[in-house]
Structure 1
């Protein structure tokens, strides 16, 4: 057995050039930082620009400076202007953040400019901070997409500039609240610190008084503190300069006028104002170092003006008599290093920074739900991207090691990677952009998706056009399945363990005879014809004419593998009778309605159509449950506050929402077959609010498919639409939400763990981001809702949970976007949105175990595609493509998070994740060891090199700064010994993600 390769040289394979820290001495390293004068107050001036990757203008418009009627910003001119100014004075510094813009600018530069920039980076005068493709949102983003977008930017820097460009500080200055999981991911990427600009106004006021603007943020309850701790600081002025010292073209502050012969000479005043601002800021911080952010949105297109005035400011403040202030150009990295060298003890924070409010009636909790269709599209596109990257690795990375496989040619996942990277921006998936920008984000995703479909088709079939994909199966729209009498359904499982799934295909039930056959076993598969529901007809309008859906179960789809099912429309009546049954539907006019499978029984009240009880058959728990759909009346301002509800802010006029139903009664339809695979109850709450509650045979959840819209606007009220569940559990105002799809945080109504909350908005002030799940419980029973996209949610009363699903508003909340959140959709009468909630009632002992696995299956559900049946000779590569790429399933608590390749030389990037917290389950929460030696069919792993989470440095070469805690807060035992027991054995502790560069070779 070969040993693990752990070279101390520069590697340029697998991912582009992973550089070791020992290879170069950089001018930007901590050791070359100016740490000021220990006897003075040291002011670190940080010249910077904040460049939104789309917001009021599209990404392209921001880069080129187009569409000036909206905003003047032009990123290319900023970089063009800054570089010459840095060359004029070696003391000057500048930081840059968003790689989506920088790479575009870099690609346009000539060799001489590239050499200049390389030199500035090596000297530390141009420093990259954060280094992701964008500055991602922290509420509506899933951890998988966060890691991908960060890796995309970090690997570009690594490939282009090497170790000197590796960011050491995370810079989240503009997102609207901050997630604990985000801090944990940054720590695992090797960052030493994090600075941000926005936190609750009351929290900031208290921190300022107590000099707690900087502290250690413990990002995980499960990981050891060395892996998940991050020194985190709040910027005094958000990310702008102190008042009076903005010297950009956008600013109205006076320049420094220093000619002694002029009447308007203001040097003395400017120095005094600056000293006052510095001392005021210093009173909020713990050391004799403070950082001032000298820049803001799209500033420095005239860098000469900025630097000329900053040079003067430095000169005159430092020359002032009896001044104890030292001012100099710096970077966030150098400021962080100064804090580290101060040898202070720091408090420890274990919760998060949600929700964010910048005044008593301005809670930024609306964006947790804003633009729900875009949020759903981003989530679905991530799954396609992961499949696309897996296909590239299995056909390019593996095949280049010796075994001939289908090549994807010139098409690649890069276009969708970049589109997904842009979509994670804090004004993209957040839903806080202008409408034309939201359209642009969706278009970019669409174009990337189309390329990835070609990648998948080429990998599977040998041709980019042979596989057909139907993006609108959720609204029963697919011309291919309707118009083709004989075809094959390909179901691909991107998870590393066997999973079942139900397939639903639009069909025209004119003959009523469909047969489904498993092509591997040759066995007929039971199926069911279900009529298209009324809400589906409403949402698809004039698109498509399928009157039925063919439903069948694809069981035990192999890990990283395919199952194939032949669908034939024919007159085989005997086979049809055995394998297919028609659903019937009847309108319920009285009497309770019950649907049940092996796991759950759901009863609906026949008198009012409401859900009545949910019974968990396994545990014997029967829980009375009532569900209603409501809408909050969106505020347009009142005598208490002029604040309106908008894309960012959620502010209802009243804590009591309006019923969607006129008389409290919900119309019901039931769709059931004689031996049903699926049972459905269709609920009509109003003409614009529907829900279909489903139970599938053998499936351990209750599916609730909601359809909302067009939200009526004629009455003059903006509406924020919620689904609320009531159940008799004594929950003490406590509930739980996930952080970016990973660890769970406890919430409590009207409570913040680190300061006393004076609640001014009893609804909006209790909303939290829900990325994958929300639940509450008593001592025995847990009620859980899992989501298919990010939403806002809460528990406003004991024994309730609610989720906001859709919003349509008249007002703008005056937070910058400048237009109401009024999505009209294709038909200009209000966007219709469809999504799913997955409902579970469990005992506490079963809840965490089942729900984590289910959340994973929802997020990475199997990908369904089709091809017209052809002869074996025409199948090209598919027959040689393994039905499963893995020789065995991974343990259930291990998730194959990433399998991708960046080049075609045979090296592969792989991430393995322990997806349970330490307290979730007695079995699944234990450390687990996986051998990668022979896990891939036809290949053996010959080398593994462990990287940091961002895949831009060898883990062994990244040594993070150490910090001293003022308060010990339940430190978690170190997992430092849980590494390689055998050369290819990987051990994972709870919540740990490990990243490797892997080389494989074909087995004999």
Structure 2
């Protein structure tokens, strides 16, 4: 960087000399906004940069500016360059968004520079917008992880800059579609407004014609308005500058050349262009205030280029006011623009739906990324599960969890890795392959650090040091300890606030085992052979022959220990057991437990009918795996399927096989139908004793490409239900939204892609129903899903493509798996068939169990019967289980002296006859492991006290919602949660 772009020592010294004395009042927020002219058209120029925390390069490469051959971008230089410009001129402003980058830059600064930046923040000239660790995706993220990543960024800003560092505006200018739940979360975090950059091209045209580019978005159908209402604005040009006015080093537009004695003088041309753009934009917005984003991806490495030309633009456009011009241009920020809209005191239209799917052209639906990189999507979901366990045990065990017998444990590494993974080019699956590898590497490092913390905490809570073993490949039956040991213990940890019954499967080398529960009682167990499907996945790394299966009961917010011992058998018994275990079974006609009866077609081997024995409901149903032929572009449009875009060649998918080879594994605890679909696709239809759902465990890959076609693999369910094009999906794992085929709620859709244009994100569940029967499918990761035919439902589970879709990533979605082969993905769907009335309770509660699955840790050996201690074998940190409709969302160490707690009501209003009622809990009597000495209620992101949270109030057209009642004072002994409400507290404890 040239010397002129760095703040000179003299400049910094002079600035520090005029800093106010400590305690002197500072002006930030809305009072710091520049003056506007009420009788003119005010154009708010917003200098900004959009910095992806990984996309074409890794987050480290972006920060330092490495690998310029891929992309010339270095975030550190942006901040180095902008700050001197702001210091030199009090009229200049800049906004910054991605705290993952700012945090890194801040740690490298001198104390003098930090003080200068603090003053800029206090004056509102350097303003943080959004404030999350990243700008998270909205289609493939779960609300729990969204809240965590926002909290991480906002907490840093609060600790570093105080109230002036608190963002007032949410800013999601690049995500590929927008969810209603994201709006609800932002509103509950205390934001006053929300600006988005991407909107379906048809929707945007419609809004421009109707002058509804800005509106009130009601983010929840359950929360009392305006708790989840948020003013939302669609930016006029995505997040880019107006045409011909990009003045960055990356741009090729002419600068403002204002010396008439030199060739190229163009002030008149630029002023005329700007006036034309401003008046054109004014026609589609409602007030005399306009916003223009002046910047784009990784711009402002040389901020002087931008500011020098914007200075001239402002000077020459405003000079025209003396000639009667009605345009006034100023440096501004999104919050200052928002404040002017609020002062206009207008009534704004209201919407209730979300903004999916997003398309930027007739054949360009951005619905492929709902499934892209399915392996990483699952890894991210599992990482969130481990992080919650890590957070909770850090609280429950205290400092010893961080500095214990196993070394230094750390939760922060996984918190930051998970926060980065929420980025809209991370969990979305729209990054380059080497960047995806880096995201996974960061998560793996976080796992290692958290597992040290967990072992320290478990040893402390159990009162004994153990050789704890984590087997991270249990999904493919790989665990050296259990496969080679004749005695071991299984420690199960439950992050939920209620007791969980779960089935445990561990790889073993043996036929007969004895399993005892925490009280020392023998419990039933079974042994099943490891399938050839699984052996192929493990590439012969497994040392086990079989899997041991037993049912466990795990206490709320706690753990329990089960002991396993291999039993000796005589040779004759062994031979008989092996024969029975591996005996080929006939093609199954049915499997059954006390709740479900599942029938199979004797010819195809596919499911043909499900009977719910509790409700008496019978539903004919077939399920099979299909593939869509991915488009490589055609004469009508060159658009191909890629990481972002889903575009099949034809509307009808092709079955991988019309009939499947099957065999049955059956014992007292489980019945499993193994379906061999093809050489690269298989499925297990599994029914456990006592469970009310059917599990479908699918294994897909490597997806073959020898026919030169990319493939998009789906699991489709077909029933006779008369659904009339209506189906339902969750929004980021929380509230349910109704979807209608070929339809949008607030504008008339011209459908050009009958498959891709009807795909929606499915984060946890999708269902169809008629008046009596509901078919629900739970997912173990985010996937794309739809209902394209009456009575049908489908989920995309894998994609492997040959072409880039020309949205910037520059490579096809062609993931490699082990040994250089294509990626193999294993996952599960949980299938419920029940009455409409009963289904809400089942899928809502089971989805939470799936999301916060019980974690398994192992230890070698078992206790001698004479030395068993019940106190170390079973532990719960709660005095009693929470009610089923209350979820312990967060229990984490906020700082050395306080704990962050979130409780949520996980049912919607009128969703369940049993559970959609307010619930009151005694916070002071909730925990058994520590005593609460003080409670402070906070906003959702825990960066504002709830009683001091004040948001701008907006008037919605035709909204007759009564004002909310006054909030009662906090009574920690009676915390009431309404449907879908999340309440956040800071606790001090001893």
TM-score normalized by the length of structure 2: 0.94
Residue matched to 1:508: 509
Find out whether 1:351 has 2:353 as its counterpart: yes
CA distance in 1, matches of 2:871, 2:585: 50
CA distance in 1, matches of 2:605, 2:886: 42
Given candidates 946, 950, 956, the residue that maps to 1:959 is 950
Deviations 1:580-602 (A, max 9, x none): 99974555665x52111121111
CA distance in 2, matches of 1:406, 1:613: 54
The Cα of 1:809 is off from its aligned counterpart by: 0.2
Residue matched to 2:14: none
Residue matched to 1:997: 986
The Cα of 1:535 is off from its aligned counterpart by: 1.5
Deviations 1:715-771 (A, max 9, x none): 100000000000110001000000000000000000000110010000000000000
Residue matched to 2:39: 39
Find out whether 1:166 has 2:140 as its counterpart: no
Aligned ranges 1:119-268 → 2 under 5 Å: 119-268=119-268
Change (3 A) 1:81 1:881: farther
Deviations 1:152-197 (A, max 9, x none): 0000001111110000000000000000000000000000000010
The number of equivalent residue pairs is 960
Residue matched to 1:764: 756
| Contact 2:409-2:456 within 8 A present in 1 as well | no
Find out whether 1:570 has 2:562 as its counterpart: no
Given candidates 645, 649, 670, the residue that maps to 2:645 is 649
Find out whether 1:708 has 2:700 as its counterpart: yes
Residue matched to 1:624: 620
Find out whether 1:670 has 2:664 as its counterpart: yes
| Contact 1:392-1:408 within 8 A present in 2 as well | no
Could you say what secondary structure the match of 1:933 adopts?
A: helix
The Cα of 1:975 is off from its aligned counterpart by: 6.3
Change (3 A) 1:295 1:516: same
Change (3 A) 1:123 1:93: same
The Cα of 1:880 is off from its aligned counterpart by: 6.3
Could you say what secondary structure the match of 1:939 adopts?
A: coil
Residue matched to 2:387: 385
| Contact 1:725-1:800 within 8 A present in 2 as well | yes
Could you say what secondary structure the match of 2:924 adopts?
A: coil
| Contact 2:181-2:735 within 8 A present in 1 as well | yes
CA distance in 2, matches of 1:716, 1:93: 52
| Contact 1:688-1:708 within 8 A present in 2 as well | yes
Change (3 A) 1:916 1:581: farther
The Cα of 1:573 is off from its aligned counterpart by: 8.1
Find out whether 1:338 has 2:327 as its counterpart: no
CA distance in 2, matches of 1:723, 1:34: 56
Aligned ranges 1:17-32 → 2 under 5 Å: 26-32=26-32
Moved segments of 4+, more than 6 Å = 404-409, 580-583, 870-873, 875-878
Deviations 1:455-476 (A, max 9, x none): 1110011499831111110111
Could you say what secondary structure the match of 2:227 adopts?
A: helix
Change (3 A) 1:121 1:573: farther
Deviations 1:208-230 (A, max 9, x none): 11110000000000001121000
Given candidates 366, 369, 382, the residue that maps to 1:367 is 369
Residue matched to 1:934: 925
CA distance in 1, matches of 2:48, 2:93: 9
CA distance in 2, matches of 1:223, 1:335: 28
Could you say what secondary structure the match of 1:827 adopts?
A: helix
The Cα of 1:827 is off from its aligned counterpart by: 2.1
Residue matched to 2:527: 529
CA distance in 2, matches of 1:76, 1:657: 48
Residue matched to 1:12: none
Could you say what secondary structure the match of 1:225 adopts?
A: coil
Residue matched to 1:491: 492
Aligned ranges 1:347-496 → 2 under 5 Å: 347-396=349-398, 410-462=408-460, 466-496=467-497
Residue matched to 2:778: 786
Could you say what secondary structure the match of 2:369 adopts?
A: helix
CA distance in 2, matches of 1:26, 1:877: 60
Change (3 A) 1:405 1:373: closer
CA distance in 2, matches of 1:588, 1:294: 68
Moved more, 895-904 or 930-939: 930-939
Could you say what secondary structure the match of 1:631 adopts?
A: strand
Find out whether 1:807 has 2:796 as its counterpart: no
| Residue ranges of structure 1 left out of the alignment (5+ in a row) | 1-22
The Cα of 1:32 is off from its aligned counterpart by: 2.4
CA distance in 2, matches of 1:371, 1:529: 33
The Cα of 1:34 is off from its aligned counterpart by: 2.2
CA distance in 2, matches of 1:858, 1:84: 51
The Cα of 1:698 is off from its aligned counterpart by: 1.2
CA distance in 2, matches of 1:186, 1:267: 42
Deviations 1:907-961 (A, max 9, x none): 2110000000002112310111010112211433221100000011111111000
| Contact 1:513-1:571 within 8 A present in 2 as well | yes
Residue matched to 1:103: 103
The Cα of 1:345 is off from its aligned counterpart by: 0.4
Residue matched to 1:730: 722
| Contact 1:532-1:548 within 8 A present in 2 as well | yes
Deviations 1:881-910 (A, max 9, x none): 9700001001110000000113222x2110
CA distance in 2, matches of 1:249, 1:587: 69
CA distance in 1, matches of 2:660, 2:394: 49
Could you say what secondary structure the match of 1:453 adopts?
A: helix
Residue matched to 1:276: 276
Find out whether 1:561 has 2:563 as its counterpart: no
| Contact 1:211-1:285 within 8 A present in 2 as well | yes
What is the CA RMSD across the aligned residues, in angstroms? 2.2
The Cα of 1:965 is off from its aligned counterpart by: 1.0
CA distance in 2, matches of 1:972, 1:589: 65
Find out whether 1:606 has 2:602 as its counterpart: yes
| Contact 1:979-1:987 within 8 A present in 2 as well | no
CA distance in 2, matches of 1:333, 1:389: 34
Aligned ranges 1:689-700 → 2 under 5 Å: 689-700=681-692
Change (3 A) 1:923 1:412: same
Residue matched to 2:4: none
CA distance in 2, matches of 1:299, 1:405: 43
Residue matched to 2:855: 863
The Cα of 1:487 is off from its aligned counterpart by: 1.0
The Cα of 1:572 is off from its aligned counterpart by: 6.9
Could you say what secondary structure the match of 1:226 adopts?
A: coil
The Cα of 1:879 is off from its aligned counterpart by: 5.3
CA distance in 2, matches of 1:477, 1:621: 39
CA distance in 2, matches of 1:534, 1:603: 24
Given candidates 628, 634, 638, the residue that maps to 2:630 is 634
TM-score normalized by the length of structure 1: 0.93
The Cα of 1:871 is off from its aligned counterpart by: 6.6
| Contact 1:528-1:583 within 8 A present in 2 as well | no
Deviations 1:466-495 (A, max 9, x none): 311111101111111111221110001110
CA distance in 2, matches of 1:965, 1:582: 72
CA distance in 2, matches of 1:318, 1:416: 51
| Contact 1:346-1:967 within 8 A present in 2 as well | no
Change (3 A) 1:872 1:106: farther
Change (3 A) 1:972 1:647: farther
The Cα of 1:983 is off from its aligned counterpart by: 3.6
Given candidates 850, 853, 868, the residue that maps to 2:845 is 853
Moved more, 564-573 or 185-194: 564-573
Residue matched to 2:544: 546
Change (3 A) 1:175 1:405: closer
CA distance in 2, matches of 1:472, 1:952: 38
